[in-house]
Amino acid sequence: MAEISWGKTTQPQAAAQPKIASQVKMMVGIGLLIAAVAYLIISGTSSGARYFITVDEIVRDSQYVGQTVRISGAVIGDTIVYDSQNLIIDFTIANIPEETSDLAATLHNVVNDPSSSRLRIHIENQVMPDLLQHEAQAILTGTLGADGVFYATELLLKCPSRYEEAVPGQINGSA
Amino acid sequence: MLAEIGLFATFFAFLTAIYGAAVSLYGERFARSEALVLSGRNAALLTAVLLTVGVGALQIAILTQQYQIAYVWAVSNPQMPTFFRFTALWGSQAGSLLFWSFLMGLFTAICVLLNWRGQRRLMPYAVTFMLLTVAFFIGLLLFFENPFDRWWVIPSNPVEQQVVRAALMPAGALEPDPIALAQTAQGLNPLLRHFGMAIHPPMLYLGFVGFIIPFAFAMAALASGDLSTNWLKITRRWTLVAWLFLTLGLLLGGRWAYDVLGWGGYWGWDPVENAAFLPWLVGTAFLHSAMIQEKRGMLKTWNMFLIIGTFSAVIFGTFATRSGLVDSVHSFARSPIGFPMFAFWFISTIIAVYLILWRRSRGELRDENAFTSVFSRESLFVLNNVVFVALFIAVFWGSFGAPIASELFLNTDITLGQDYFMRVTPPLFAALYILMGVAPISAWGVTALSSMGRTLVIPVGLTLASLLLFFLTGTRDALALFAYGIVLLAGWVALVETVRGLQARQRVHKESPLSSLRALYTRNPRRYGGYLIHFGVTVIGLGVIGSTLFQQETQQTLSAGQSLQIGGYTLRYDALFNGQIAEDGRVMDIAQLSLIRDGQTLATLRPRRDFFPQTEGMNTMTIAAAHSTLENDFYVLLVDWNEINANAATFKVYINPLINLIWWGGIILIIGTLIAAWPREILPARVRQEMQVSGLARKGA
């Protein structure tokens, strides 16, 4: 492979004089471009930023009412009500503590713990996702209404570690 | 038995990789011993062989259903069809790490075999860097995620903890009952049972792994002091091949999402998608700026940074995806490999940056030419690079930077959603398309604006003509027309330039247009292959604009015989067939609909819902049906139905205009890349002879 030359090579123009003026122009151009990109990123960040908060925080603190935020919680399977004619889903999620080592176990625990904070979710124009089921982790973007219901516009689901950490049940050994 | 073979082969591969890396470096740099360097070379080859044995053992274990191996138990079950038994090899973390190491080992061996004689000076260093990477990945799987772990039963333990997982038999353990294990085996995640998902991961891995080779050579150049453009020339084809696979991987991933995830889209700016897109962005920038270094001896430091950036993005992407760093639909479960991966990424990046700065401070990376004109091709390439890097930064910031920074410094979690990406990226993509239209017709050194204007007349004319077509067929939105315009211009420039090349050839040679075209592609594959890639990217761009700006959707509940209307189409619900059992045990509920336009039935669509009775957790899957034409996709999802009499069912319908251009553009792009990367050996004998003669002449001079 090494012996091969790569296509036609255009010979560099003989001793092209570096023109300072055009280098300056180039730098100014790139500078302007960088400024434009920086503006884009900053304005995009300020309009697109979503605070990721816990169910605990949103339930406790009224400052979040009306603000667009992202929350994550454990789906409680029995509460899922799906109106397939109008594509409206209602369900309740339970708070997931911030520090968790085994997410699957945590999801299982909080769903079964009546003392964990809960939040009712309402989402419209949403086809029932296959992953929306008991003990899934839901990540939602939306706003908390004054009625205490979270009106979500975006729903992301994870079924963690089902495939990773499962252990076979009772099995008999044989020597 | 297979588990032991695999485990020991992989373990020895770990040792040979470390040995090879050490003796290559020591032999070349310090001991100056040819014997040691050759030993390192052989160790690289042996590593590949051992990893092949390791992967082979795991693959055979999956195929022969050895459920006592925990990995086999987790990714397959007795009902699974054979095809998915092959793909289950990379269906989960541990197996995919092994597969990744195997590919990396294989690439290292191929690289050694191909380039050893020609690049004797760089090779020992390159081998060191490649084998260190291989060793790191093998270490990860051996010490953190072992695919050869087995289930054991320890009867003396309390009932709850009798089943344990270990690589080697623990004291007092018994082998578990294979029949019971087979019954509880998990099977591949239903979402992954799709053709696109079957080949999407290996494509991405090939792309990722492929980019490690140019990185290793860049590092070898820095370490050895051979800072000519040699390393670029050797790795150019590797880079193109890596780029090809990465592009394919991204396209297939999009296709999979579109077919399987059932939301009518193909790209969601999800952190994990972005993690694979990031190396593509820097890698593409590198492909372009490498040309400037080859032709003009400029941008030497910049290219080093780009290739290191690509490697860094690959490792960071792998780390981000697999460590559970970000919330995403795709991410693997939280895993202990997070910290070691982060450490590897950090240390390798630091070493790379240090080497560059060191060589630079010694003045060894000085450019041979300076920029002479703002409108020279090299300046436009630099601009292209700046835009690619800007996109990289914007996407990185949106997916990882902002969430991580907010957590570190503001003690809050901030994430940026789709609206961030939809605001920041379109202007940058637009800039890239404009550059794609202008740069190919600019000249090296200085471009006369007047000649550039003349060259642009025909493509601009063709662009306006095509825009008129869009206008007449109903596109009235000014922004959309502008977007179509800049994308079309890039494509027309590529086509017109190819035709010009063809005409020039025809003037000189008496030959048929077809053989002229062949000659164009074989004699100057990089330029004309590149144009074809640009044309493919244009076609993709049209598809993206059409499907993003003009998507229509509706949902409705229909009784059998009823219809809904959308976008000039009529969709009639004919019947529901529920409880159909497929070969692999899934239960399918299938709706049958007729798609009608202008009184003619275009197609019978069968969207369905699959239920996997054997699978725990996620066990249903909504599978869309689509009627695909170049004009659009008519995409139907079966949302719900009345269980009892199956009389009424709810459907969600999307019309995605031009979406199939994305896949067709992808195919064009792949053909272009193959042309650009194809080995020269297929050239006609005459051309080869000429090359040899000129090569001899050069040597003699």
Domain of A105, CATH number, reads 2.40.50.140
CA dist B499 and B355 (Å) reads 45
Residue in A closest to B556 by C-alpha = A85
Q: Would you call B176 and A8 a contact, using CB atoms and an 8 Å cutoff?
A: no
The confidence score (pLDDT) of residue B439 equals 87
For B563, list phi and psi in degrees, rounded to 5.
Answer: -130, 160
Specify burial of residue B424 (Cβ count, 10 A radius: 0-12, 13-18, 19+): buried
Question: Does position A58 have pLDDT exceeding 70, yes or no?
Answer: yes
Contact at CB, B295 and A157, closer than 8 angstroms = no
CB pairs under 8 A between A and B: 252
Give the contacts of B504 (CB within 8 A, at least 6 positions apart): none
Q: Taking 90 as the threshold, does the pLDDT of residue B587 lie above it?
A: no
- CA distance to partner chain B, nearest, from residue A15 (Å): 8
- Beta-strand pair B648-657/B552-559: antiparallel
Asked if A9 lies within 8 A of B177 by C-beta distance, the reply is no
Structure tokens at B180: 């019971």
Q: Is the pLDDT of residue B616 over 70?
A: no
**Within this chain, do residues A70 and A131 fall inside the same structural domain, yes or no?**
yes
For residue B468, CA distances in Å to B289, B465, B474, B591, B689 come to 35, 5, 10, 40, 50
How far are the Cα atoms of B71, B493, B566, B585 from residue B613, in angstroms, in the given order? 21, 55, 36, 7
Highest averaged pLDDT of the listed ranges B101-105, B360-364, B411-415, B693-697: B101-105
Q: Are residues A29 and A101 in the same domain?
A: no
Q: Does residue A137 sit in the same domain as residue A109? A: yes
Nearest CA in chain B to A51: B414
Residue A5 forms part of a structural domain? no
- Please list every residue in chain B whose beta carbon sits closer than 8 Å to the beta carbon of residue A4: 680, 691
| B372–A2 CB contact, under 8 Å | no
Chain A contact set for B397 (CB, 8 A): 41, 45
Buried b (16+ CB within 10 A) or exposed e, B462-476: bbeebbeebeeeebe
CA distances (Å), origin B158, targets A171, B72, B181, B227, B505: 13, 26, 20, 64, 82
- Domain-located, residue A119: yes
Map residue A123 onto helix, strand or coil.
strand
Over residues B498-510, the mean pLDDT reads 88
Greatest CA separation for chain A: 84
Partners of B555 in beta bridges:
B652
Beta bridge partners of A49: B416
Calpha distance B85→B72 (Å, rounded): 9
Contacts of B382 in chain A (CB under 8 A): 26, 30
Contact residues, chain A, for B153 at CB < 8 Å: 171-173
Least confident of A21-35, A143-157, B49-63, B428-442: A21-35
State the CB neighbour count (10 A cutoff) for residue B379: 24
Q: Are residues A150 and A105 in the same domain?
A: yes
Nearest to A52 among B234, B413, B695 (CB): B413
Which candidate in B371, B381, B383, B564 is best for mutational testing of the A interface (most A CBs within 10 A)? B371
A113, two tokens: 């713990």
The alpha carbon torsion through B306, B307, B312, B317 (nearest 10 deg) reads 90
Residue of A nearest to B679 (CA): A1
Among partner residues B417, B428, B640, which is closest to A154 by beta-carbon distance?
B417
A55, A24: one domain: no
Please answer yes or no on whether B369 and A16 come within 8 Å at the CB atom. Answer: yes
Contacts of A164 in chain B (CB under 8 A): 74, 92-93, 332-333, 335
DSSP string for A65-82: BT-EEEEEEEE-GGG-EE
Which segment of A109-123, B190-204, B393-407 scores lowest on mean pLDDT?
Answer: B190-204
CA-CA distance, B207 to B677, in Å (whole number)? 14
Of A27, A49, A71, the residue at which a domain comes to its end is A49
Within A49-169, residue ranges assigned H as helices are: 55-60, 103-112
Closest Cβ opposite residue B119 in set A2, A160, A162: A2
**Range from B189-198, B203-212, B263-272, B684-693 that averages highest in pLDDT:** B203-212
**B74 to chain A: closest CA residue:** A163
Least confident among A128-132, B122-126, B233-237, B663-667:
A128-132
Alpha helices, DSSP H, located in B64-122: 70-75, 82-87, 93-115
Q: From B186, which residue of chain A is nearest by alpha-carbon distance?
A: A163
B583 vs B80, B242, B256, B277, B638, CA distance in Å?
Answer: 9, 37, 22, 36, 21
Q: How far apart are CA B295 and CA B444, in angstroms?
A: 9
What total number of domains does chain A contain?
2
How far apart are the C-alpha atoms of B318 and A149, rounded to whole Å? 38
Q: What is the pLDDT of residue A12?
A: 45
DSSP A8: P
Q: How far is A13 from chain B (nearest CA, A)?
A: 7
Instruction: Give the distance from residue B464's alpha carbon to the nearest chain A alpha carbon, in angstroms.
Output: 28
Cβ-Cβ contacts under 8 Å for A125 (sequence gap 6 or more): A87, A88, B555
Same-domain pairing of A33 and A80: no
pLDDT, tens digit (0-9, with 9 covering 90-100), for B337-374: 778 888 898 999 999 999 999 998 888 888 887 776 76
Domain ranges of chain B: 1-191, 194-209+227-441, 448-549+665-680, 552-657
Give the Cα separation of B239 and B127 in Å (integer): 17
Closest residue in A to B618 (Cα–Cα):
A131
Nearest CA in chain B to A57: B412
The whole-number pLDDT of residue B533 equals 96
- From the centroid of its chain, how far is CA A88? 21
User: Does A55 lie in the same domain as A25?
Assistant: no
**B384 within 8 A of B439, measured Cβ to Cβ:** yes
Closest CA–CA distance from residue A105 to any residue of chain B (Å): 13
| Helix ranges (DSSP H) in B439-578 | 449-472, 478-508, 513-523, 525-549
Give the nearest partner residue to B420 out of A10, A34, A45, using CB atoms. A45
Tokens 């050994």 sit at which residue? A173
Q: What is the DSSP string of B313-354?
A: HHHHHHHHHHTT-S--SSPPPP-TTHHHHHHHHHHHHHHHHH
Percentage of chain B with pLDDT > 90?
Answer: 44
By Cβ distance, the residue of A3, A9, A82 closest to B295 is A9
Which pLDDT belongs to residue B694?
56
- Going by C-alpha positions, the residue among B20, B248, B13, B51 that lies closest to residue B131 is B20
Three-state DSSP state, B27? helix
pLDDT at A7: 41
Chain A nearest C-alpha distance from B200 (Å): 19
Backbone phi and psi for residue B330, each to the nearest 5 degrees, phi listed first: -90, -20
Contacts of B374 in chain A (CB under 8 A): 22, 25-26, 29
Say whether B180 and A166 touch across the interface (CB within 8 A). Answer: no
Residues A119 and A106 in one domain: yes
- pTM score, two decimals? 0.86
When CB atoms are compared, the residue of A3, A36, A158 closest to B329 is A158
* Helix H or strand E segment including B651: strand B648-657
pLDDT at A31: 87
State which residue of chain A sits closest to B385, comparing Cα positions.
A30
Rounded Cα distance between B697 and A23, Å, is: 39
| Main-chain dihedrals φ then ψ at residue B177, nearest 5 degrees | -70, 115
- Cβ-defined contacts of B99-103 (< 8 Å, 24+): B99/B55, B99/B202, B99/B205, B100/B137, B100/B205, B100/B208, B100/B209, B101/B10, B101/B13, B101/B51, B101/B134, B101/B137, B101/B138, B101/B141, B102/B51, B102/B52, B102/B54, B102/B55, B103/B202, B103/B205, B103/B206, B103/B209
Contact yes or no for B157/B171 (Cβ under 8 A): no
Q: What is the pLDDT of residue B618?
A: 62
In terms of Cβ atoms closer than 10 Å to its own Cβ (0-12, 13-18, 19+), residue B601 is: exposed
Residue B321 has pLDDT above 60, yes or no: yes
Q: List CB contacts (< 8 A) between A9 and chain B.
A: 294-295
Closest chain B residue by Cα to residue A42: B424
Which among B154-168, B443-457, B570-584, B641-655 has the top mean pLDDT? Answer: B570-584
> Which tokens in the block code for residue B693?
């003669």
How far apart (Å, rounded) are the C-alpha atoms in residues A113 and A111?
6
- The neighbour count for residue B409, using CB atoms within 10 Å, is 8
Tokens 């590897």 sit at which residue? Answer: B344
Q: Is the dihedral of CA B665, B668, B674, B677 positive or negative?
A: negative
Which residues in chain A are contacts of B691 at CB distance < 8 A?
Answer: 4-5
The mean predicted confidence, pLDDT, of chain B is 86
Residue B594 is predicted with a pLDDT of: 94
Is B618–A159 a contact, with Cβ atoms under 8 angstroms apart? yes
Q: Could you tell me if residue A75 is inside a domain?
A: yes
Separation CA B195–CA B206 (nearest Å): 17
Taking an 8 Å cut-off on Cβ atoms, the answer to whether A164 and B390 are in contact is no
Q: Quick check: B334 and A161 CB within 8 A?
A: yes
State the alpha helices, DSSP H only, in B120-270: 123-143, 178-184, 195-224, 230-256
**Is A93 found in the same domain as A45?**
no
Helix (H, G, I), strand (E, B) or coil at A84: coil
Q: Name the minimum distance, in Å, from the CA of B256 to any CA of chain A.
A: 16
Distance, in Å, from the CA atom of B41 to the CA atom of B577, rounded to the nearest integer, reads: 61
What crossing angle do the helices spanning B418-438 and B478-508 adopt, rounded to 10°? 30
Q: Residue B442: what are its φ and ψ, rounded to 5°? A: -90, 165
Residue A74 sits in the same domain as residue A134: yes
Residues A37 and A98 placed together within one structural domain of the fold = no
Least confident of A8-12, B299-303, B514-518: A8-12
**What pLDDT does residue B646 have?**
59
- Contact residues, chain A, for B165 at CB < 8 Å: 167
CA B18, chain centre distance (Å): 28
Q: What confidence category does residue B488 fall into, taking pLDDT thresholds of 50, 70 and 90?
A: very high
State the virtual CA torsion across B454, B460, B461, B463 in degrees, nearest 10.
160
Distances (CA, A) of B32 to B40, B41, B44, B115, B121: 13, 15, 19, 20, 12
A68 domain-assigned: yes
Residue A8 lies in a domain: no
Q: For A28, name the nearest residue in chain B, comparing CA atoms only.
A: B374
Note whether residue A12 is domain-resident. Answer: no
- Residue to mutate among B640, B690, B696, with most A CBs inside 10 A, is B640
Residue of B385, B128, B103, B420 whose CA lies nearest to B269: B420
Q: Cβ–Cβ contacts within 10 Å for residue B109, how many?
A: 20
A67 and A114 together in one domain: yes
Distance, CA of B422 to CA of B13 (rounded, Å): 46
Residues B390 and B611: their CA atoms lie apart, in Å, by 44
CB-based burial label for B679 (10 Å; 0-12, 13-18, 19+): exposed
Query: Which structural domain range is residue A139 located in?
Result: 51-158
The answer to whether A168 contacts B180, with C-beta atoms less than 8 Å apart, is yes
B583: three-class secondary structure by DSSP? coil
Of B73, B331, B393, the CB nearest to A168: B73
